[in-house]
Amino acid sequence: MSGHSTYNPQNPVLKWFEARLPIVGLIHSSFVAYPTPRNLNYWWTFGAILSVMLGVQIITGVVLAMHYTPHVDLAFNSVEHIMRDVNYGWLLRYMHANGASMFFIAVYIHMFRGLYYGSYKAPREVLWMLGVVIFLLMMATGFMGYVLPWGQMSLWGAIVITNLFSAIPIVGEYVTTWLWGGFSVDNPTLNRFFSLHYLLPFMIAGVVGLHIWALHVTGQNNPTGVEVKSTSDTVAFTPYATLKDGFAVVCFFIFFAWFIFYTPNYLGHADNYIRANPLQTPAHIVPEWYFLPFYAILRAIPSKLGGVVAMFSAIIVLFFLPWLDTAKVRSAKYRPLYRYFFWIFVVVCILLGYIGASPPEGLYITVGRLLTAYYFLHFLVILPVLGLVEKPLPLPASITEAVLGPNHGGVSVVPSSSAAAPERRA
């Protein structure tokens, strides 16, 4: 969304239009001529996958809303009506419900990609923080969407999550009453959740716009973590990135379709096909899989306020990550110690998810506490210290050198010695 457009229309109508609203030029400079690092791997296709999934959720959601009724007496039946009566309703609903899971799979991969390659470091701090904002909005959207079918998990998930706010000292009770519009999760709650569930994806789309804007100001990071130095380090977005992203989206859609057509309820919970009953809690409440690690952190702390604070901190800490990581080298490829800690952290997050799905008793509690402690230790102790003690491996002089070997270090444009020297010292 920045840089000089090389778009130069010859057609008189396009010329006339471009002089009045240069939007075609903007698209051209952002998605056609835009230079992308030549060494991007498939982990870089998840941004495109995420954009496509947002589109999928919005389109399927808008059509579901044509058949859905946000009322406690009618919501559950209207979802069954979508499943049984509406033409292709089953398909639209399964696309939307599984689409939410796919969206989160993609966002987690996208975020871990950023962690591995140090994409959050200067000058991409704002880009990263906008990503965390998108993540928060997605969590709110997914949570409110899950309430809409008004099954047992919908209701009890909503009760447990909204009650988190009752932990706030003094005003907690007023806040929950205000959120509910009553004294419990009831019709006013469902009604407003539907309204907000409709709104938030469009807010996400807005923040995605800012995210891409920030990306195009700083340029993309890449697997070496070395900044682009010459035109030989990049290739044009179209056709290179467009086609690679397109191919990745098609592969992702195959994975997505497998869930829709072969195991559409695998990622959901059977109890959500039982109509909501405010007098009976299901024996085992679990949130959607994508919230499980955070749910485990909530339960690890044996105090109400403490648990809530820990859970929110687990996300808030991500905002500070660019400053907590003191290492100058971005990519884990050149950080021999961080590479191990990264993978330990991935395993810890997956185990936290497992603990979040297990009953809160016995060994699960102890293990959950240890993992929670490690989660925070990673950000607050390991990352700051690692940057000071770790000795990074020598960096390539340029992306071109990393791809083609040492004799090609960007010779075509800048003398390799002058451009390469500062990076080698890092």
136 binds other proteins (CB under 8 A): no
The SS3 assignment for 38 reads: coil
62 binds ligand HEM (CB under 6 A): yes
Question: Given candidates 41, 77, 231, 280, which one binds other proteins under the rule CB under 8 A?
Answer: 280
Residues 173-232 touching other proteins, rule: CB under 8 A, are: 177-186, 188, 192
64 binds ligand HEM (CB under 6 A): yes
361 binds other proteins (CB under 8 A): yes
127 binds ligand HEM (CB under 6 A): no
Question: Given candidates 127, 148, 241, 420, which one binds ligand HEM under the rule CB under 6 A?
Answer: 148
Site of tokens 């901190």: 313
Buried b (16+ CB within 10 A) or exposed e, 387-405: beebebeebbbbbbbbbee
Say how far apart CA 191 and CA 423 lie, in whole Å. Answer: 56
Buried b (16+ CB within 10 A) or exposed e, 27-57: ebbbebbbbbbbbbeebbbbbbbbbbbbebb
Using an 8 Å Cβ cutoff, are 111 and 118 in contact? no
Using an 8 Å Cβ cutoff, are 392 and 329 in contact? yes
Say how far apart CA 357 and CA 108 lie, in whole Å. Answer: 18
Q: Look up residue 13 and give its two tokens.
A: 């109508």
57 binds ligand HEM (CB under 6 A): yes
8 binds other proteins (CB under 8 A): no
Identify what 197 binds: ligand HEM, other proteins, none; CB under 5 to 8 Å per kind.
ligand HEM
Residues 257-316 touching ligand HEM, rule: CB under 6 A, are: 268
Q: Where are the alpha helices (DSSP H) in 263-382?
A: 292-300, 304-324, 336-357, 363-377
Residues 6+ apart with CB under 8 A from 121: 322, 325, 330
* Cβ distance to ligand HEM smaller for residue 62 or 344: 62
Residue 373 CB, shortest distance to ligand HEM, in Å, is 30
Residue 282 CB, shortest distance to ligand HEM, in Å, is 15
3 binds other proteins (CB under 8 A): no
Helix 46-65 and helix 242-262: axis angle, to 10°?
50
Site of tokens 């496509």: 52
Q: What distance lies between CA 249 and its chain's CA centroid?
A: 16
Question: Given candidates 170, 262, 302, 425, which one binds other proteins under the rule CB under 8 A?
Answer: 302
- Tally of CB atoms within 10 A around 112: 16
204 binds ligand HEM (CB under 6 A): yes
Helix 304-324 and helix 363-377: axis angle, to 10°?
30
Which range in 40-48, 107-115, 294-302, 345-353 contacts other proteins by CB under 8 A?
Answer: 294-302
146 binds ligand HEM (CB under 6 A): yes
Residue 170 CB, shortest distance to other proteins, in Å, is 14
* Cβ distance to ligand HEM smaller for residue 93 or 211: 93
Identify what 184 binds: other proteins, ligand HEM, none; CB under 5 to 8 Å per kind.
other proteins
Residue 302 CB-density burial (10 A; 0-12 exposed, 13-18 middle, 19+ buried): exposed
Residue 376 CB, shortest distance to other proteins, in Å, is 19
Q: What distance lies between CA 123 and its chain's CA centroid?
A: 20
Give the footprint of ligand HEM on this chain (CB under 6 A). Answer: 54, 57-58, 61-62, 64-65, 68, 79, 93, 96-97, 100, 103, 138, 141-142, 145-146, 148-149, 197-198, 201, 204, 268
Give the footprint of other proteins on this chain (CB under 8 A). Answer: 156, 159-164, 166, 177-186, 188, 192, 278-281, 283-285, 298-299, 301-305, 307, 359-361, 365
